[in-house]
A = this chain, B = another copy of it.
Amino acid sequence: MPNMKQIARMANVSLGTVSHVLNDSAGVREPLRKRVMEAVEALGYQPSQLARGLRRDKTDMIGMIIPDVTNPFFPAVVRGAEDVAFSSGYRLILCNTDNDHAKELAHLKALRTYLPAGLIVIPSDFSDLTVQAESYRKAGAAVVCVDRLPRNWTGDSVTAANEKGAHRATRLLIEMRHRQIATITGPLHLTNVEDRLNGFRRALRESKITITPDYVQETSFDKQGGYSKALVLLRMLPRPTAIFASNDLIALGVLLAIRELGLKCPEDVSVVGFDNLDFGEMTSPSLSSVHQPGYQLGTTAARMLLDRVSGDTGPAKHSVLQTELKIRESVAAFAEASTQDSKQTSSRADGNRKSIKATKRQQ
């Protein structure tokens, strides 16, 4: 690979001049500039990012730390960040934490030695990010937190309007005349989960609906968790007629549990999820959900980061992106008859279910 020295020799100028041409760092007169550019062209020269980074104490890399690319919500965020980064000449180093804060810490420590321009982080459970970010900032790297925040986070952040979205979803259920409304939340130590629960509670409170504490079930953010907690809820008396799930994977588990018990969605139980993942349109019934703008979360975070990199030293920014309720088949108005006696309903529904199965044979 050609280096600056060769360019300098070929263009018959000094090393410094080449650098100045390449970086616009000083006025270089046209004839020289032209000779340099020609040499660059002729040799196909590209500056070594390593040497440049070493000298400048900062590279064109951005560390992106997320729980797991394999979780369907995150790829959109990554893509959004990559698009903005790439179009400004930055690249993304992708790290998965599996929500393990020890693994996250390992990534945070290791990444530092690459002198990234900054970090975009979706923090793991019980993340240590607040401390680490401080040390990154001292080293001149920006850190933006996305989707959820670690405790005591005071830095830049981009999140969805979780409280509001959950409030809107819950209000839909209330407007549909549901009164026995339950929720299955993700891990409550996550700020976004907490916010969603708050939105849920506020909607209930505003409509003067009180529910038994049992109607709030906490679990992990996956299908299995949703499934098992839904079984618990659906066996309670009175049985909830609507369930708000704090994400779509949980909602999917809820749908499975409903079917498992011989109930029907939305006739017996309405369900609303959160995230609006692609598969929500493909389930049967299709899933109502609060859309979270994953791609925009990523682009916004990357832009915020790049602003910092290019010198914005203002106070911490908190961008909150709006959500949108997508109403699909999984929600119906509460019909008085259908849910009082759980056993009877259950067996009646079971009869229905068979006839549906004959045509649909779902799952």
Asked whether, in the complex, the Cβ of A363 is within 8 Å of the Cβ of B76, the reply is no
Asked whether, in the complex, the Cβ of B72 is within 8 Å of the Cβ of A69, the reply is no
When chains A and B are docked, how far (Å) is the Cα of A53 from the Cα of B114? Answer: 10
Q: A160 at the A/B interface (Cβ < 8 Å)?
A: no
Asked whether, in the complex, the Cβ of B252 is within 8 Å of the Cβ of A46, the reply is no
When chains A and B are docked, how far (Å) is the Cα of A285 from the Cα of B358? Answer: 11
Residues of A315-363 contacting chain B, CB below 8 A: 329, 356, 359-363
* A215 → B minimal CB distance (Å): 26
Mask: chain A, 262-301; 1 = CB below 8 Å from B; 0 = not: 0010000000000000110111111000000000000000
Q: A104 at the A/B interface (Cβ < 8 Å)?
A: no
Residues of A59-92 contacting chain B, CB below 8 A: 59, 61, 64, 68-70, 72, 75-76, 78-79, 82-83, 86, 91-92
Residues of A73-122 contacting chain B, CB below 8 A: 75-76, 78-79, 82-83, 86, 91-96, 109-115
In the complex, which residues of chain B have a beta carbon less than 8 angstroms from the beta carbon of A113?
Answer: 46-50
In the complex, which residues of chain B have a beta carbon less than 8 angstroms from the beta carbon of A50?
Answer: 50-51, 53-54, 59, 113-115
Could you say which of B139, B329, B363 contacts A286, with CB atoms under 8 Å apart?
B363
Could you say which of B94, B281, B361 contacts A285, with CB atoms under 8 Å apart?
B361
Asked whether, in the complex, the Cβ of B76 is within 8 Å of the Cβ of A70, the reply is yes
Q: A1 at the A/B interface (Cβ < 8 Å)?
A: yes
Asked whether, in the complex, the Cβ of A282 is within 8 Å of the Cβ of B252, the reply is yes
How many identical subunits does the complex contain? 2
Could you say which of B75, B82, B96, B360 contacts A82, with CB atoms under 8 Å apart?
B96
A135 nearest in chain B by CB position:
B1
Asked whether, in the complex, the Cβ of B61 is within 8 Å of the Cβ of A54, the reply is no
When chains A and B are docked, how far (Å) is the Cα of A114 from the Cα of B132? Answer: 25
Q: How many residues of A contact B (CB 8 A)?
A: 54
Instruction: Known contacts A76-B70, A360-B285; decide if A82 and B95 are in contact (CB<8 Å).
Output: yes
In the complex, which residues of chain B have a beta carbon less than 8 angstroms from the beta carbon of A252?
Answer: 282
In the complex, which residues of chain B have a beta carbon less than 8 angstroms from the beta carbon of A361?
Answer: 285-286, 329
A139 nearest in chain B by CB position:
B1
Instruction: Known contacts A110-B91, A359-B264; decide if A54 and B46 are in contact (CB<8 Å).
Output: no
In the complex, which residues of chain B have a beta carbon less than 8 angstroms from the beta carbon of A109?
Answer: 46
Instruction: Known contacts A50-B59, A282-B282; decide if A78 and B69 are in contact (CB<8 Å).
Output: yes
Residues of A129-162 contacting chain B, CB below 8 A: 139
Asked whether, in the complex, the Cβ of B49 is within 8 Å of the Cβ of A114, the reply is yes
Could you say which of B53, B78, B93, B363 contacts A93, with CB atoms under 8 Å apart?
B93
Could you say which of B48, B59, B94 contacts A94, with CB atoms under 8 Å apart?
B94
In the complex, which residues of chain B have a beta carbon less than 8 angstroms from the beta carbon of A362?
Answer: 284-286, 329
A residues neighboring B (CB under 8 Å): 1, 46-51, 53-54, 59, 61, 64, 68-70, 72, 75-76, 78-79, 82-83, 86, 91-96, 109-115, 139, 252, 264, 278-279, 281-286, 329, 356, 359-363
Sorted nearest first, the 8 A-B pairs with minimum C-beta distance are A284-B284, A69-B75, A279-B279, A50-B54, A94-B94, A49-B113, A282-B283, A50-B53
| Given contact pairs A1-B139, A75-B75, A281-B363, a sample of 18 additional A-B residue pairs in the complex whose CB atoms are under 8 Å apart | A46-B109, A47-B113, A48-B115, A69-B75, A69-B78, A70-B75, A70-B79, A72-B72, A78-B94, A91-B114, A252-B282, A264-B359, A278-B279, A279-B279, A282-B284, A285-B362, A286-B361, A286-B363
